[in-house]
Amino acid sequence: MHVVITGGAGFIGYRLAEAVLARNDMVDQNGVRRAVDRVTILDQVAPERPLADARVRIVTGDVTERAVLADALDGTPDTIFHLASVVSGGAEADLQLGLRVNLDGTRTLLDLAAESGRRPKLLFASSLAVYGGPQATHVSDATIPTPMSSYGVQKLCCEYLIGDYDRRRLIDGRALRFPTIAVRPGKANLANSSFISAVIREPLAGRETVCPVPDDVPIALMSPGRLIETILQVHDLPTETFGWPRALVLPAVQVTVREMLDALEEIAGPEARRRVTFRDDPKVLPMVRSWPAEVSSARAAGLGITPDRDARTFVEQYAREQGFVS
């Protein structure tokens, strides 16, 4: 079975690759559990930490270029996890870049997947950014998408394309609307939500950080560990069980920065908490307030997908993985 992961050198993509390799087998597009014998990782750069597994092939290049995508798929895709994208802040700052990568690149990938004639599974990393405005404070399966950012518009357009290619039986398409994922290691990226990870990551590393929103602003979160479990769980579902529409709201737990810092103090002490100061950012704050703060999905619950427990879950998972606690 050939698994392709676009954006595979990134934080989520790399973790997903590790999980796929550890599982050894997956349910293919025909509903048959098969051994994973090839994993292709496609990104602009190779992963910082090599994956020591003979099944892994690394393809580097522009993820919008047809030749690069064709090289990665090699005409034999069984599953494609499409994670590569320009994140929210980057897509807002550069409209054409966002359109080229997030929309045009996805369209090219869909065409190549269809041309393979294999009707591969294609799991797409969409986002709760497809919702926006005061009517989207609480999101459920019935909430109508009303994106208020270029990133959200691009993700929604891709969802519609995936649904149509699935309807035509060219792919088995499944779009997952990710909430904000925290806590992310490494340097901050251009995502407008990057401060959520920074208020935990930086103090634990002994560094000060500035939070651009008040500590009582609610945010819908999912942990990296829970996200990877969910992606693989959704992948193995029969296509009829996944159902229609081909986009699924992922459940999230509502937390505030204050709750995250409470958990940080419990785990790392008051000194860590004091490394976080607050200064409202007039660009970031309005966008954060427009995001869904409460997310529920009866459909996801019916598929056995559950949210994280509470704010402490995020801090504990990160602190344990990074060696700050045993």
Segment 125-181, tens digit of pLDDT: 999 999 987 777 899 999 999 998 999 999 999 999 999 999 999 999 999 999 999
pLDDT of 40 above 70: yes
Q: What is the pLDDT of residue 283?
A: 85
At a CB cut-off of 8 Å and minimum separation 6, what does 205 contact? none
Q: What is the pLDDT of residue 95?
A: 95
Label residue 324 by pLDDT band (50, 70, 90): confident
pLDDT of 235 above 90: yes
Q: What is the pLDDT of residue 190?
A: 66
What's the mean pLDDT when you consider all of the chain?
94
Helices (H), the chain: 11-23, 66-73, 88-93, 95-98, 105-115, 150-167, 194-204, 224-235, 239-242, 257-268, 270-274, 284-290, 298-302, 311-321
pLDDT of 286 above 90: no
In Å, what is the CA distance from 37 to each residue of 13, 271, 323? 18, 48, 32
**Which string of b and e fits 298-307 if b means at least 16 CB within 10 Å?**
ebbeebebeb
Q: Looking at this protein, which amino acid is placed at residue 227?
A: L
Q: What is the pLDDT of residue 76?
A: 94
Q: Please indicate, yes or no, whether the overall pTM of this predicted structure exceeds 0.85.
A: yes
Label residue 86 by pLDDT band (50, 70, 90): very high
All structural domains of the chain, each given as residue ranges with its CATH number in brackets, are: 2-178+223-249 (3.40.50.720), 194-220+253-321 (3.90.25)
Label residue 245 by pLDDT band (50, 70, 90): very high
Q: What is the pLDDT of residue 291?
A: 83
pLDDT of 70 above 90: yes
The lowest-confidence range among 68-77, 143-152, 206-215, 286-295 is 286-295
- 151 catalytic? Reply is yes
Q: What is the pLDDT of residue 284?
A: 87
Considering 131, 151, 165, 318, which one is annotated as catalytic?
Answer: 151
Percentage of the chain exceeding pLDDT 90: 86
The lowest-confidence range among 29-33, 201-205, 288-292, 297-301 is 288-292
Mean pLDDT of 285-313: 91
